[in-house]
């Protein structure tokens, strides 16, 4: 059984885990993300289909959307938001249980779960193939994740410093 990965591209690019590894201009960051997914096999088997969704329109460097044969496939959302495009892709998937969406966006995560699709945080996705750890081990790690600590810190700043 192969999975269909749908990845919220700018959500990953703007995440601190990605920024620690890649310090480049936005076009280079998009390329670096695609290369990272390929090189570290973050989506597991090469039989899994991978689509990275970015907001807006492609620059001259990207031209039109990729060929269906290239992996990961890149989609620019055009007039609609990447979030809306991702939701439509989940709705239109033949079997949502074979779909895994990678995003930290709460609205997308709730939507994806409502369709019984899988949902991975960026931290889970970025660490999924590192070393010999399996995704199940990462999910069962005790304590707070980096993303959870960051969200708590932001909330405390908002409450105490504003």
Q: Cα–Cα distance between 157 and 154 in angstroms, integer?
A: 5
Q: What's the domain range around 52?
A: 4-161
Mean pLDDT of 95-113: 91
CATH number of the domain residue 67 falls in: 3.40.50
What torsion do the CA atoms of 154, 7, 46, 92 make, to the nearest 10 degrees? 140
Q: Cα–Cα distance between 54 and 72 in angstroms, integer?
A: 12
Q: What is the pLDDT of residue 145?
A: 65
Residue 100 pLDDT class (50, 70, 90 cuts): very high
Residue 84 pLDDT class (50, 70, 90 cuts): very high
Structural domain total, the chain:
1
Q: Cα–Cα distance between 28 and 34 in angstroms, integer?
A: 10
Percent over 70 (pLDDT), the chain: 77
Residue 65 pLDDT class (50, 70, 90 cuts): very low
Residue 128 φ/ψ, nearest 5 degrees? -60, -35
């Amino acid at each position: 059984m192969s999975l269909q990965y749908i990845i919220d591209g700018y959500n990953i690019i703007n995440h601190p885990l990605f920024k620690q590894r890649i310090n480049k201009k936005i076009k280079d960051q998009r390329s670096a993300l695609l290369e990272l997914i390929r090189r570290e096999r973050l989506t597991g088997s090469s039989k899994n289909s991978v689509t990275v969704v970015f907001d807006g329109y492609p620059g001259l460097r990207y031209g039109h959307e990729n060929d269906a044969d290239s992996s990961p496939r890149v989609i620019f959302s055009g007039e609609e938001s990447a979030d809306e495009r991702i939701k439509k892709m989940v709705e239109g998937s033949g079997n949502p249980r074979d779909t895994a969406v990678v995003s930290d966006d709460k609205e997308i995560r709730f939507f994806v779960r409502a369709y019984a699709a899988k949902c991975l945080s960026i931290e889970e996705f970025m660490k999924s193939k590192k070393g010999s750890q399996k995704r199940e081990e990462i999910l069962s790690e005790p304590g707070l994740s980096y993303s959870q600590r960051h969200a708590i810190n932001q909330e405390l700043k908002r409450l105490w410093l504003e």
